[in-house]
Amino acid sequence: MELSKEKLISREKHKVELTSGTIYGADGDDSNSPAASTCSNESKFAAEHPEAEAYLQHLLNDGCNEGDSGYDMELPPWYDDKLFKQGQSFMQKYRFVIQSGMLSGLVAVLAIPSILKILICTRQSSTPTTAYKRYVRTMQHTNAWYKYSATDKNSKFWTSLRAVRKAHSRSSRACAKLAAGQITQKDLALTQFGFIGFLSLGAHRIQLYDEQFLEATSHMWRVLGYLLGIKDEYNICGRNWAESKLRLDIVMRKVYEPALENTTTEFYDMAKALLDGLWHINTTLTVGSFIFFTKRLCYVRGYEYFDFDDRPGRQRDPEQRLYYKDMSWIDRFIVFYGLLMVTYLHKYDIFRWYLNFRTWLNEQLIEYFPYVAILKFGPKWAFVRIFNGRGGENEFEYHLKEE
């Protein structure tokens, strides 16, 4: 019922053909074109925010040459306990949109070539089976970061973070030996965007105008980034929300939006494996609808749904194909239903409670009785545990690609 792989790849090539002449100057001066207008807007943004542009250039040019920060697993000197706990508390109020934003982020990072290369090497997401396990594990770790105390060094908060950082280190060394590259500061920061970028930058699009939520969430993920090995100079979350917003915005404009505009066959294959695996968690997920959601969040041309889906200040191309029209009826219904719920109904307490409860119930089923996954993968693979019976970490399973 979803778009075929060939059709998705074909339309991506069509987009490149339409835009390559104006973006890269192959057709000469076309200053009135939508693409030229986009370039002008990006240049204007960079000129108006030189600190954000400097951050991005440092991240892309220098961050790709550095691995783990080497920071000790200790809270940073700028840690604010009150603000961090506020960030954690918002999981109860906004559970559905937090989890949804993270899932879109997981799909989006597959468009970053260096990150995709590492994932292919580690074989953590290459099939629905491994992708299911990887996402469940990721969800359990992030839930631990929101749930447990950061000031108690014996809590599962620290157990989880140590396990993830150790896994990153091991994967980085193994992939470097296999010539797939190492996990760099750039990769860590761009992955950090996946956890917070769409949620925070897209808050106004779901009428979420909670400034304290944005400030506290920004601080929380700044701390988590630090503890996961990101140097302060590369951390996509700055000293406050105002600084974080500029960093997140320029990364989305100049890294994620171009990457998602020109996705590859490998991106589609990995995204399909990931989303097919997640279907066993949420059976309303389809590949076509969720790729649409992700590209829409990143302002990719042709993935507009509402009139306000254009990036502010950007000229809409009247000849742009709307890819929503290429989708199957089931994908269209899921997009309609999902956007109706989050754009117009999520702001009301009763609907937010319903969405949060449904998300929480799914998490409980995944933890204690993942019946759909059991039927597909068997009990041994369907049950995922990041902690052992004593509260310690369970070792990650690796499926490294052979040289």
Q: In the prediction, which pLDDT does 403 show?
A: 41
The closest of 107, 304, 91 to 205, measured between CA atoms, is 304
Asked if residue 178 is part of any domain, the answer here is yes
Q: Cα–Cα distance between 79 and 59 in angstroms, integer?
A: 23
Higher-pLDDT residue of 33 and 257 is 257
Token pair belonging to 18: 């339409």
As a whole number of Å, the CA-based R_g of the chain is 21
Q: In the prediction, which pLDDT does 22 show?
A: 32
Query: From the centroid of its chain, how far is CA 265?
Result: 19
Asked if residue 6 is part of any domain, the answer here is no
Q: In the prediction, which pLDDT does 388 show?
A: 79
The closest of 132, 111, 77 to 265, measured between CA atoms, is 111
Asked if residue 139 is part of any domain, the answer here is yes
For the entire predicted model, the pTM comes to 0.87
pLDDT digits (tens, 9 = 90+) for 240-272: 999 999 999 999 999 999 999 999 999 999 999
Q: Cα–Cα distance between 294 and 297 in angstroms, integer?
A: 5
* pLDDT of 195 above 70: yes
Q: Cα–Cα distance between 116 and 102 in angstroms, integer?
A: 17
* Conformation bin of residue 2: beta by default, left when phi > 0, alpha when psi is -120 to 50: beta
CA dihedral 285, 290, 293, 294 (to 10 degrees): 140
Asked if residue 119 is part of any domain, the answer here is yes
Please, which residues have CB within 8 angstroms of residue 71's CB and are 6 or more apart in sequence? 226, 227, 229, 231
| Domain span including residue 277 | 50-304+327-382
Please report the DSSP string for 144-155 in residue order: HHHHS-SS-TTS
Q: How many domains does the chain have?
A: 1
Asked if residue 14 is part of any domain, the answer here is no
Mean pLDDT of 39-66: 85
The closest of 142, 183, 147 to 166, measured between CA atoms, is 183
Q: In the prediction, which pLDDT does 313 show?
A: 80
Asked if residue 161 is part of any domain, the answer here is yes
Asked if residue 40 is part of any domain, the answer here is no
pLDDT digits (tens, 9 = 90+) for 306-347: 988 888 888 888 888 899 999 999 999 999 999 999 999 999
CB 148, CB 85: distance < 8 Å: no
Give the residue carrying structure tokens 């993270």: 102
Asked if residue 272 is part of any domain, the answer here is yes
- In whole angstroms, how far apart are CA 345 and each of 203, 208, 220, 349, 370? 14, 11, 27, 9, 29
pLDDT digits (tens, 9 = 90+) for 141-166: 999 999 999 999 999 999 999 999 99
pLDDT digits (tens, 9 = 90+) for 373-394: 999 999 988 999 888 777 677 7
